[in-house]
Every structure is written in structure tokens, then in C-alpha cells.
Amino acid sequence: MRKLFMAGNWKMHMTESEALNFVKQVKPLVADVTDKDMLICPPFPVLSRMQDALKDSNVALGAQNMHFEEKGAFTGEVSGPMLKAVGCEYVIIGHSERRQYFGETNEIVNKKLKAALNHDLLPIVCVGESLEQRENNETMKVIEAQIRESFKDLITADFKGTGADLAINDWSQITIAYEPVWAIGTGKTASPEQAQEVHAFIRSLLPKEVAQKVRILYGGSVKPDNVKELMAKPDIDGGLVGGASLKPESFAGLCVFD
Ligand code: PEP
């Protein structure tokens, strides 16, 4: 049985005082949540303060991106060890906005994924098709290529076989997020059926020993009023949420439903 996982991606929102205020307000609202894992991914400058603010809470801390190198002349970048040092447990990798605006390819995602695992960060690897790709009936082809290339060297050569290169136990560290690009920040949500179809497909691509254990989150305009029906689908194991994770009541509404 996979535990539901609600992850907030704050993107480029929240100054330090706004972030501290959010945490102060959200903590009591989600204090009793034990049936879901919860995560917020604030911007880099506030991570360190968030580490203190979230101490003794049931909300974990994550980053929105990382570089694959450990250190070096990479102006403006942040490495895995730096994220660990400010208390990050998780890191989002390959978000569609990184792919779209910052040229991240599946090859880069693959390097980042390996670096995250090497630095004991729990990666949330994002995949998803554009509107044009969906309309051209290319969704499954695009998703398969994203998974195959992003997980290169980490899944079996024949891809659906057994002997995964990534140790079976290591798969417990990995989360995948299916985020159709056309649904992110647009207010358009994939229907639960559309999302379930892709989630089941992604699961079918994973090594069979681990497929039932890996959590696959849905992202794309998830809100308190549509979260329940999405989460009712058998292969949807949580949400990666942007806009609706920015307000304490709304984030809590994603985490507290039955
Ligand atoms: C996201 O940030 O990954 C996302 C899905 O954003 P939103 O919930 O605003 O669509």
C-alpha cells in the first residue's frame, strides 16, 4: 500500500517573511495528518530558515532544482551537498518549467537524478506531454522516452524486464510526477481518467519488482476541490502542486480530506 504524498512546489514565490508566516499558519492545520507524507519546496534563499521553521513538524523540506556537479564554476547553481546541508530531504528534478525555460533535456535530468541519489536526496522526477503532443496522440510515446532517457542506466536494458541496475531498495527513494504541461498553472486539470491512464502506463514501464512500490504523483492544477477524485484513482499516489500550495488553508485542504 503506497502512502499518499502531497508536495508543494512554490516556484519563484515567497520571501523569507512570507514563508515563515506560511509555516506558522500551516503547522497546526496539518498537525494531525498521519496518512500522508507532506512536503514543501520553497525557493533556495529561504531553505535554511525553513529547516528551522519545520523542525518538529510533519512537513518535509525539498528543493526545486539542483546541479549535477558537486561543486565548481557554475555561477548561479546549487549542488546536492548544499541542499543536504540546509535540511533538504527531497529535490524536484526535470520540472517542465526547467525543461521549457532553462533548456533541461532528459540527458540533464538523468545526470541530476544520479547526482541526487549519490547525495542521498530523494528525487521527484517530472515528466509530461505538451498540449500539441497530446493532440497529436503522442502522449505515451513522449512519456516513455522521458522515462527511458531520464532513468538511463538506472532501469533495465530491455526496460520491462527484471534485473534493474538501480538496486531494488533504491527505488524506494524515487518518486515520479506526471505533469501534463497543458495543465500546469492553467487551471485545466487532466480528468482523473486521463491522469490514471498515464500513471498506469508509467508504472508499466518500471521494473516489475518495484513498480507497485514507486509513488507516482499527479501535477497540474490540483486544488482542494478536485484533489479527492484524483487521489481516488488506483495509480495516483499524491500531488505535486504549485498554485494551491501557496496558501496555508489551501495546502492544508490538499492534505486533509477523507
Ligand atoms: C507544478 O508546479 O508542478 C504545478 C503542477 O503547478 P500548478 O499546481 O499551479 O498547476
Nearest CA among 136, 213, 123 for reference residue 174: 123
Band of residue 128 on the pLDDT scale cut at 50, 70, 90:
very high
Asked whether the beta carbons of 39 and 92 are under 8 A apart, the reply is: no
The pLDDT score that the predictor gives to residue 165 is 55
The pLDDT score that the predictor gives to residue 163 is 41
Q: In CATH, what number does 4-255 get?
A: 3.20.20.70
191 SS3 class: coil
Percent of the chain's residues with pLDDT above 90: 83
Band of residue 160 on the pLDDT scale cut at 50, 70, 90:
very low
Annotated binding-site residues for substrate read: 9-11, 185, 221, 242-243
Res. 115: pLDDT tops 50: yes
Asked whether the beta carbons of 69 and 115 are under 8 A apart, the reply is: yes
Cell numbers representing residue 105 in the block: 533535456
Band of residue 164 on the pLDDT scale cut at 50, 70, 90:
very low
Tell me the CA–centroid distance for residue 153 and ligand 1, in Å.
29
Section 64-74 average pLDDT: 98
Section 124-141 average pLDDT: 96
Average pLDDT of the residues of the chain: 93
Residues 6+ apart with CB under 8 A from 88: 47, 61, 62, 63, 121
Among 5, 9, 124, the mutation site with the greatest number of ligand 1 atoms within 8 A of its Cβ is: 9
What residues act catalytically? 95, 179
pLDDT in tens, 175-211: 999 999 999 888 888 899 999 999 999 999 988 878 9
Tell me the CA–centroid distance for residue 12 and ligand 1, in Å.
12
The pLDDT score that the predictor gives to residue 155 is 67
Tell me the CA–centroid distance for residue 159 and ligand 1, in Å.
29
Cell numbers representing residue 136 in the block: 497529436
Section 47-59 average pLDDT: 96
**Which residues form the pocket of ligand 1, taking CB atoms under 6 Å from any ligand atom?**
9, 11, 179, 184-185, 219-222, 240-244
Res. 17: pLDDT tops 70: yes
